[in-house]
Structure 1
Amino acid sequence: MSSPKRRIETDVMKLLMSDYEVTLVNGNMQEFYVRFKGPEETPFQSGTWKVRVELPDQYPYKSPSIGFMNRIFHPNIDELSGSVCLDVINQTWSPMFDMINIFEVFLPQLLRYPNPSDPLNGEAAALLIREPRAYESKVKDYVNKFASADVMGDGDDESSEDDEMSSVGSYESDEEPAGAMEV
């Protein structure tokens, strides 16, 4: 059991030491948020998303759970839940991959090369196939509405939103700390 725990710590530390902004939920290395910027030269390029990551106890032998917290218009990402349909995460995950791979390779590739033949968002898939320019325009519209610097904050340590979200993650705690409700 110590090997997967050590691997979780190693992978999360690599991510924390990278250029990504990472927010641990309640100091837990198995649940955190990563601020992810859209890849250059795509309609997503000016967007920033908050991506929720949950690492199962069996990580790296079992794949992480990844979800976009702010809305994104993409054939392989569910618009409401933020769930990601990506073979390398869902079916072909390997312990050779780590968290950095997800944010530097897998998610940028997914945004750069959507797969409309295996959609989670049928509307985005149909629009991409039938009217690529209209699809690109709608992606940019979503970026402006849901993933712009104005919406996300400028990256200054405005953690009130993160604090609220992280307290939601502590659902099975036996006792609340004294005064926790008086916020």
Structure 2
Amino acid sequence: MATSSRTRRIAKELADIKGDASSKITAEAAESTADLTHLKASIPGPPGTPYEGGSFIVDVRIPTEYPFRPPVMKFDTKVWHPNISSQTGAICLDTLSTAWSPVLTIKSSLLSLQSLLESPEPKDPQDAEVARMVMADPDGFNSKAHEWAVSHAGAPQNPNFSSVRPRTTMAKQEIDESRQVSNSFELRRYHGYNKELVNRFVNMGFDVDRVVEAFQFVGIDKNNGEDYILEEAYMGDITARLLGEP
């Protein structure tokens, strides 16, 4: 799609969002310029959830290939949620990756994020620590999610979520499920590569996801998840990819 066509589509989508006051969703250019490839959006916390009454800011980057590739979104507002990184705001949502379609829009993506706040998926986590808490101590999760919404998103205090009831001892099944969530998170993040192998590059200052992408681009053997020493040529190719060299 030509740049002008993409810009027209984005402008129309932003106008549609502005014209739908009932959704209480907003989106506009991040800077006071005509550049519509970097947006700041806000979504209200869904009623009946620990996030109710809060306003959550989302950073939106529109790729050159839009709408054939999804917008890249992350939460600027800190959120305690299993599918949102409590550290970086990164989001685990299929409509922003594998389930994306060109018929979807910025607005529909933001509505999907609002639905995600309402319906967490702890067995497909972005943040394993939060996912374990959802499954092992749902009352504690609701309380902490609400505490963060009050502190970071301006939500009003809600007595339904403000107090934590006493924790019960985790049953063996809950412990097993918690461990499965943690293991699943690690396997999914490292895509079958040995963690130590990947972390040799992470320790150089690169993000895990970028290192895994570089491994896949270069064609590094997963070696059944076992650690091994990479050949020097592969080391150079991976480093070049990570540094963005042609």
**What's the TM-score, normalizing by structure 1?**
0.75
Q: How many equivalent pairs are there?
A: 149
Alpha-carbon offset, residue 50 of structure 1: 1.0
2:139 aligned with 1:137, yes or no? Answer: no
Aligned position for 1:78: 85
Identity of aligned residues (%): 28
The range that moved more, 107-116 or 7-16, is 7-16
Q: In the alignment, residue 24 of structure 1 is paired with which amino acid? A: A
Deviations 1:52-77 (A, max 9, x none): 11111111110001111120000000
Q: Distance in 2 between matches of 1:57 and 1:11?
A: 16
Runs of 4+ residues over 2 Å off in structure 1 = 2-6, 15-23
Q: What is the alpha-carbon distance in structure 2 between the residues aligned to residue 91 and residue 61 of structure 1?
A: 12
Contact preservation (8 Å) 2:51, 2:155: no
Instruction: Tell me how far 1:149 sits from its aligned partner.
Output: 5.7
What is the match of residue 98 of structure 1?
Answer: 105
User: Residue by residue, what CA displacement relative to the aligned partner does 1:6-62 show, whole Å, maximum 9, x if unpaired?
Assistant: 322222222233333334123221111112111111111121111111111111110
Instruction: Please report how far the alpha carbon of residue 100 of structure 1 lies from its aligned counterpart in structure 2 after TM superposition.
Output: 1.4
Specify the alignment match of 2:44 in structure 1: 37
Task: Determine if contact 1:8/1:60 at 8 Å carries over to the other structure.
Answer: no
Query: Are 2:65 and 1:61 equivalent residues in the alignment?
Result: no
Q: 1:147 aligns with which of 135, 138, 153?
A: 153
Q: Secondary structure, in 3 states, of the residue corresponding to 1:135?
A: helix
Paired with 1:35 and 1:109, the residues of 2 have a C-alpha distance of 14
Q: Provide Cα deviations, 1:122-148, integer angstroms capped at 9, x if missing partner.
A: 111001001111110110111111111
CA contact (8 A) 2:52 2:155 kept: no
Q: Which runs of 5+ in 1 are unaligned?
A: 151-183
Query: What amino acid does structure 1 have at the position aligned with 2:82?
Result: P
Offset at residue 119 of structure 1 (A)? 1.1
Supply the distance in 1 between the matched residues of 2:155 and 2:115 (Cα, whole angstroms).
22
Aligned residues of 1:72 and 1:143 also touching (Cα < 8 A): yes
User: How many Å separate the matches in 1 of 2:121 and 2:42?
Assistant: 23
Query: Does residue 1:115 correspond to 2:130, yes or no?
Result: no
| Selected match of 2:19 from 12, 17, 21 | 17
Matches of 2:130 and 2:140 in 1, distance apart? 10
Structure 2 gaps of 5+ residues are: 157-246
Q: Which has the larger radius of gyration?
A: 2
Question: In structure 1, how many angstroms separate the alpha carbons of the residues matched to 2:50 and 2:89?
Answer: 18
Does the 8 A contact of 1:12 with 1:29 survive in 2?
Answer: no
Read off the aligned partner of 2:95 and give its amino acid letter. V
Q: Secondary structure at the match of 2:36?
A: strand
CA distance in 1, matches of 2:124, 2:147: 23
Give the secondary structure class of the aligned counterpart of 1:53. Answer: strand
Counterpart in the other structure of 2:57: 50
> Which residue identity does 2:16 align to in structure 1?
K
What corresponds to 1:163 in structure 2?
A: none
The structure in which a higher percent of residues are helix is 2
